[in-house]
Structures are given as C-alpha cells and as structure tokens.
A and B are shown apart, each in its own frame.
Chain A
Amino acid sequence: MDTHKNFSGKVLFLDRDDINTDEIIAAKYLTEITRDALGPHLFEDLNLEVFRRQVDIAGKSAIITRSNFGCGSSREHAPWALEVNGIHLVIAESFARIFRQNMFNCGMLAVELPAASIDTLFKSYARQETTVTTDLKKQVFIITAGDQTENIPFSLPDFERKLVETGGWVEYADSHY
C-alpha cells in the first residue's frame, strides 16, 4: 500500500456551501468492510445542479469548493471515499472541524483559502479543464487552464504538514512513538 498521496492533477469544482458527509458517502454504505467498496458511491447523493457524477469525477485528483465542506456526521468514510477515487486534496473556503482532521489523519490535504480567492478561482477556472500542481515545500498551488496560470500561496500548520509528509496519523505515530 502506497501511503504517499498525490496532490496534483485535474480539478473538480463543486460550487456550493455546506456539502455534508452524507452527500459525500451515503450512510447506507457504512457497513462495508473495505474502503475500496466505497469508491463507486462517492457523491451519490450530492445535491448540486448540473452534476454528471461519473463523468465529472472521472480522472479528478482535487476538489475546489465553497464553505463548511464535510459538515454533518463525523464518519471517516467521507475522506476514504475521496481517497479511493484518487482525490487527495480539497481546497475550500472552510471545513467542518472533524472532517478536516480526518483528512490529515488519512495523510490528505484540506486547505483553506480566503473567500475572495475561492471566488476568483470559480470565476476564472470552473468552466474549463483545470489542473492544480501542489508544491508542499513552498506551500503554493499552481493553477493552470489552457494558457492561463497563477500561483496561490497557502499555509499549513507544522503538525499537519508533518502528517501529510509522513502519509497520515498511522504512519506518523508509528515512526514517532
């Protein structure tokens, strides 16, 4: 199992506040005993206009969304459902606290950007194929679409950065304690 995550690739834009964990992965899949089994059901109940689930998710590695992403039940199945679909980075205006912690526990990135930057990203990129490249060392995202490109700096607390670098809390704890 490769515990290191990929934080670069094509972006899925989800233009809504308060996308909850039930929309990310429905409660009826909580009885599954492998994470892979969650894969096909990501965003099954997502309430969003013009969302063609299978087409839109395919090949995506990152999500850009609005505020309070991951609210609702604290289930870790939500980050897992993203993880098994190859989506290891979520950029949002804000996150539900436990969801954000679960992301880092799984070695994934949940990064907050100011509302104005998120707004600009939606305006300039949401309607075209967009890629993000993450430079963890310099803490900067490079957003590209066609010949348009821009660098967006972000900041990550030290402990969270280490969790991401080691591949999550299990790997971190096993190598530190």
Chain B
Amino acid sequence: MGKTVAEKIFDSHQIDNPSDDVHVLKLDAVFCHEITTPMAITDLVARGKDRVFDPEKIKAVIDHVTPAKDSKTATQGKIIREWARRHRIRDFFDIGRNGICHALFPEQGFVRPGYTIIMGDSHTCTHGAFGAFAAGVGTTDLEVGILKGICAFHYPKTIKIEITGSLPAGVFAKDVILSIIGRLGVNGASHRVIEFSGPVVAGMSMDSRMTLCNMAVEAGATCGICYPDQTTVTYLWPFIEKEYPDEPAALEAFKAFWPDEDAAYAEIIEHDISSLEPLVTDGFKPDNVKPVKEMGATAIDQIYIGSCTNGRIEDLRIAARVLNGQKIDNNVRGIVSPATPKIFRQALDEGIMGIFMDAGFCVTNPTCGACLGMSSGVLAEGEVCAATTNRNFSGRMGKGGKIHLMSPATAAASAIAGRIVNSPLFSGSGK
C-alpha cells in the first residue's frame, strides 16, 4: 500500500518503536522561542542534563515579547540568551535580527522538504508548507528534543484536502483556510495531518502556503503539509544551490516527499473555492466564520496586521494596495508588525511602510506583539480588533477584548472604513 507524505517522513526518520503506538523519530531541527523554552532549560539544568544534541540543528529566537516589556519577560529572554551562548547555538536571533519564528526560520532556509521539526509552539505546523513534518509539542518533548534530537509521535493518519476551482479576485489564502476550518470545525482534524493538495495550492506562493498551513492547528491538525514543487525549489534555491547540480535535480529529489498514488487517507475532501467570498470570524472560536458582507459593518477599535499567519511581505503588499493614498478612520488605531527584519526592510524599500504611515498606521518592530496580547497593542475591555492573526479566543488580545480574524485585504479595507467591510480588491464587493 502506498504512503502519505507524513508516513514517508516517519518511515525515513524512525529510530525506535517502543510500543505499538509510539514511534520515536530523529529530528532534523528543533526550534526554540523565549516563552516555552526557558521552562525546558531550567528543568534540564535541574536534572543535571544541561546539554544540547547538536547546536547546529537548534534554532532559537526571542520573538514573542521583544524588546522585553517587564522583568518577567526580560528574565525569559535572559535564560534563553545565556543558554544559546553557553551551548554555542549559532543561529540565535536576538534584538535587531529577531522576527516571528514561523516567518524567520523559513526565510533563513532552516526548513526543507522531508524534515522533522518540533517546537514548543502551536503554530509549528506552518513549516509543513515546505513538505516537512513540523509539530508543536509540550515542554517534556521539547526537552527531549533539545537533549537527544528525537521525539515520540503516534503514527499519523492524514486527511487530504483537494482545493479545487480558482481563487476569485480579492480572495486569499487566509479566506481559504478560514473556509476549511469553518467546514471541519476546531476538532475536525484532531490528531491528524492535513495534506493541502490540488491546483489552487500548486498555484500559491510560499507565503500563501505558509498562511494555509499555519492555521491547520486551528482545525486540530498536528501539521499541515503542501507538496514541495518548483515554487518550493525557487524559494529554497539560495540555500541549497551547493547541494544540487541544478533546480530540476532538486525538484526531483523533493518528489520523494510527494504522496504515493495509492496512499491511504483517513478522509479525502474536495473543497471547491470558485465561489468563495472573503471571510471573517465572529465569536471566540476560529471555526465560527461568516462572509464579510454578513457582518453588518461591525465597528472596530483597532486593526492589527501582522503575525505568523499574515505578517509576510505578500501580506503587507496586499494591504498596501488597499491603503494606498487613503487614510484610516479617525476612530480606529492601526498597527502593523512586519514579521521579520528582512520583511520590514523590503517593505521600506518598496515604499509600503510609507503607505502604511501615510494612512495613519503605527509601525512596530518585528514581534508577535498584539497577537498574543502581551505587548504592542493589547485591547481594553469591550474593544474590538480586526486582525490578520490566527486565534480569536476570548481574552487572547487582552481581557474582555474581541478579535475578528480576516485577510490583510479585509483588514486594510476595514481600517479605512472603521468597520468590517470587503476590500475593493474583491470583485463581488458591492461596497
């Protein structure tokens, strides 16, 4: 019987099978950030096991709250910073070079098709966009990953979602993934891997694929995976040009991480997006999605454009197209956080930051910032935010605040209107 992508990756990385259901895999990379790693570090130290399996394969960043906002976050930064120094972890990104892990690490070329990656972070699934198996884990698993370069998993069952049709103008990867989460529900893919396949994904940029995979976890999935193709090769080429004679050879090698024709899936879903409209979440669960036009032009207090879902250059370009020459509503606060310094620089060079600033946006440094409600844009009780982030849980951006998730285009248009509205990029927009 044929294999799915995740099954192929599992079989090529398994080093032990200590019980029927437990598969111990060798890891190609362990990613770390300052919120979840310090607890792992202090525990390893307490056990007398302050070691790392391979400093080259550990990548670490301070990204969630940076610059530190109080002594607690400063201490978290200090613990991971000193640990990185002590173990000579070369790829450690501190202030000035730091950006959101799930944007920064792919940009640095740390992700490859067929890789196994763990991180103490729910949205580690983002890296599946490159045809990798990347999963968020708890502290004990992170500790073992750091110490031994291994992790135990259950054998993955896969749901294949064939995204068919063609994307209407003004409808983006964010709308596609919101429509899928709305269809599956927040537990619809629990303990499953999702393969995103079909012509729509094949036509997507790496930025869009990362948006898609980023939110796989909001349907409960362990990882979202896209098939590595020429788009993947082109993105990674600067990092792999010494490994392959030419791009076609790299593509050929990447095909090892395509599923077999006769792979067995837990479920195959066809998802036609030809008549998809821009979507937005209502309520406090990401599967509670509605077309923007049904939101009755809900008033908003803040717009947040950023995060590991939609803080990449493609997202900023789309938002800038909507904002160009316009001003945001007087009653709203606009915040944009480019996800990495490279994206920030690119946006400056392309004049995008100028457009944001002319429109009245505040530009922050690259950070998770408001996404997790710890800094750079926390909401007050009763306030409403239109955000390009991935979680609308109650209290996520501040106690008593409410978040509506949407694409950068919808967020930019809503900033101008002061209410949740469709962007002029959407052909079907009446407004």
Q: Which residues of A come within 8 Å of B, CB atoms?
A: 1, 3, 31, 33-35, 74-76, 102, 105-106, 157-159, 162, 168-171, 173-174, 176-177
Contact = CB atoms under 8 A, between A and B. Distances in A.
A35 B43 contact: yes
A106 B140 contact: yes
If over half of A's interface residues share one DSSP class (helix, strand or loop), that class is named, otherwise mixed; here it is loop
A170 B147 contact: yes
A3 B49 CA distance: 12
Contacts of B16: 176-177
Contact of B138 (A74, A158, A177): A74
A66 B234 CA distance: 55
B242 interface: no
B80 to A, nearest CB: 11
- Counting chain B CB atoms within 10 Å of each CB, the highest count among A33, A169, A173 belongs to A173
Interface in B42-58: 42-44, 46-49
15 contacts: A33-B38, A33-B76, A33-B79, A34-B42, A75-B138, A102-B138, A105-B140, A106-B140, A158-B19, A159-B19, A169-B141, A169-B144, A170-B44, A177-B16, A177-B24
Range of interface residues on B (Cβ < 8 Å): 20 to 34
B18 interface: yes
B15 interface: yes
Nearest to B136: A74
A42 B43 CA distance: 19
Nearest to B40: A170
Given A34-B39, A35-B39, A177-B148, 17 more contacts: A3-B47, A33-B42, A33-B75, A33-B76, A35-B43, A76-B139, A102-B140, A157-B19, A159-B22, A162-B18, A169-B140, A170-B143, A170-B144, A173-B144, A173-B148, A177-B16, A177-B24
A159 B48 contact: no
B140 A177 contact: no
Contacts of A106: 140
Nearest to A104: B140
Contacts of B48: 1
If over half of B's interface residues share one DSSP class (helix, strand or loop), that class is named, otherwise mixed; here it is helix
A35 B39 CA distance: 8
A93 B106 CA distance: 45
The 4 A-B pairs at the shortest CB distance, nearest first, are namely: A159-B19, A105-B140, A173-B144, A1-B46
A159 B18 contact: yes
B72 interface: yes
Contacts of B22: 159
A75 B138 CA distance: 7
A154 to B, nearest CB: 17
Interface in B98-155: 138-141, 143-144, 147-148, 150, 152
Nearest to A33: B38
Given A1-B47, A33-B75, A174 B39 contact: no
Contacts of B140: 76, 102, 105-106, 168-170
B81 to A, nearest CB: 14
B116 to A, nearest CB: 15
Interface in B10-25: 15-16, 18-19, 22, 24
Nearest to A3: B47
B39 to A, nearest CB: 6
